[in-house]
Structure formats: C-alpha cells, structure tokens
Amino acid sequence: MDSHMQRNLDHWNEMTPIHMRSRFYDLAGFKAGRNTLQPIEIDEVGDVEGKQLLHLQCHFGMDTLSWARLGASVTAVDFSDKAVDAARDLSHELGIPARFIRCNVYDLPGVLQGDFDIVYTSYGVLCWLPDLPKWADVILHYLKPGGTFYIIEGHPVLNIFDNSKSATGLTVTQSYFHSPEPIRWEPEGDYAENDAVVVNPSYEWTHSLGDIVNALIGAGLRIEFLHEFPMSSYNWAPFTKQDEQGWWHIDGDRVPMLFSIKAVKITS
C-alpha cells in the first residue's frame, strides 16, 4: 500500500466510529429493519434473490447487509480494519449471513476466490482509487460470464466546484481531469457529521466520466446504460437543499450530482 493510501486508511479508521454514531447513517434504524439502499439502485440492479453479490468498498456493511435482506448471498471488502470489524459484528448481531474481507480492492484477487453474479459499489468510492483500469480489471475478474457490474456514484463534474463550509455557489476551484498525484484535503468536519473533530487528512484522486467509462470498456465490459441525476445522497455543499425524499439539490438542478452505470461481462 502506497503512502497516500496508508494515510487514507488512517482517515477511514478514524471516520468509522464517527459514522456509526451519526444521524446520517442511522445505525439504530438499520438494526430495526431499515433498508439503507436507495430506490434508484434497487430498481437498476434488479432482483437479487438467490444471487451471489460482491460489494467493493463496503465501509461498515449496512448496504451489504441490506442486499442480503433482499435475498442476495453477499461478500464484501473494505480496506479499513475498523470498518470490517464493525461489519462483522453487525452481521453477527443481526443474524444476517455475510462474508466481510479486509483488503484493498487491488489486492483482492490474491485473497478471494470465486466469481459472482453481481459486483456492486456505491457513493464516494472512486476518489480513493488511483488506478481505474486496474480497478476495472478486478471487477471483470470476479464477474461470471453474463454477470452484472453496477455503480452509483457522485458525478465527477462536482469535483471542479468548491463545496467547503464557506462556499455560496458554483465556483470552479479544481481541475476536472485526472492527475496521478492526489489532492490533499485537510479535515473540515465530515459529510455525515459537520461538526465532527477529524485529525487525519485525506488524499483523493479525480477521475473524469470518460476515465470511468473507458476503464470499464477497456477491461472488456459492455456498458448497458449510463444515467445522470441532478441530486446527491448527502448535503454536498452549504447551499444544497433537501427534498421530501431526502435527496439534496442545487437550485435549478443545473448540474449532474450522481451517475449510475450498469455493465455486463460479455460471454463468447
């Protein structure tokens, strides 16, 4: 693991207990039966009953276990030992069968055997990965012929705008395009708890929508669809507003805030 990813591991080990106690994640509600998956991904992934699902970058497991509640047989991976320990404890406490593996995505083929009907990942995952073609190769490696990959994620166009606590509108401050060197972000609260005291900085890589799509195509996957949405799953900036369904919007819905991709491993 390179030094930037090691620092990010420190960051996520720090963030896990903050997230587990936050209102945003509502762990108590999940334990009481709440499904954490959004209607978009439930609809776009489709029926998972009886299917083998691999969840990449699963954090502390609520989405993974939500897929299990919908009938999937789930395996999940995250590089944070704190998150994986919490996910295993949650699985045991709730009696929901799941396999959680502590590993970064790139090293997974050396740790996990087998293939899957579905590989899934969501919300805030790609910025932690320096190499998308290698990521896409891992996805291909784990899909059965005809199997499905699905991602729902923050739209990369948002990366160009200032969303700090002092932001008042759409001001361009960053490049849209990928650089091998990550951006260092100093702690400023957290998306799940604005006033959280955070010590560890994070290092994030920017990837354009073209980078994402072409990585999947280059690995040999066939894109079934690419959808874009004018809302976010969290309070992305001080000027976003929440609707009755819980989504966050920028006035006028002028820019995409989420995208989803469904791709298939081609059979030959």
81 DSSP β-pair partners: none
Rounded CA separation 88/120 (Å)? 19
| Residue 193 burial class via C-beta count within 10 angstroms: exposed 0-12, middle 13-18, buried 19 and up | middle
Contact of 241 with 251, CB cutoff 8 Å: yes
pLDDT tens per residue across span 49-105: 999 999 999 999 999 999 999 999 999 999 999 999 999 999 999 999 999 999 999
pTM for the model stands at 0.96
Amino acid at 69: R
The phi, psi pair for 6, rounded to 5°, reads: -65, -40
- Paired with 122 in beta bridges are 152
The answer to whether the Cα torsion of 223, 215, 181, 84 is positive or negative is positive
- Quick one: what percent of the chain has pLDDT higher than 90? 92
Tell how far CA 29 is from the center of its chain: 21
Please state, as a whole number, how many other Cβ atoms lie within 10 Å of the Cβ of residue 116: 23
- Where are the domains positioned within the chain? 3-154+208-231+259-265
Q: Above 80 in pLDDT, residue 228?
A: yes
Query: 171, exposed or middle or buried, with CB in 10 Å at 0-12, 13-18, 19+?
Result: exposed
Residue 189, pLDDT > 80, answer no
pLDDT value of residue 233: 93
Q: Indicate the DSSP class of residue 58.
A: -
- Tell me if the domain spanning 3-154+208-231+259-265 has CATH number 3.40.50.150: yes
Report which of 136, 187, 131, 191 is spatially closest to residue 158, judged by C-alpha positions: 191
pLDDT band at residue 1 using 50, 70 and 90 as cut-offs: low
Q: How confident is the model at residue 268 (pLDDT cuts 50, 70, 90)?
A: low
Tokens in use for 69? 């509640």
Go through 19-28 and write b for each residue having 16 or more CB atoms within 10 A of its CB, e for each that does not.
bbebeebebe
Q: In the predicted model, what is the mean pLDDT of the chain?
A: 95
When pLDDT is cut at 50, 70 and 90, the band that residue 137 belongs to is very high
Give the tokens for residue 168: 């008042």
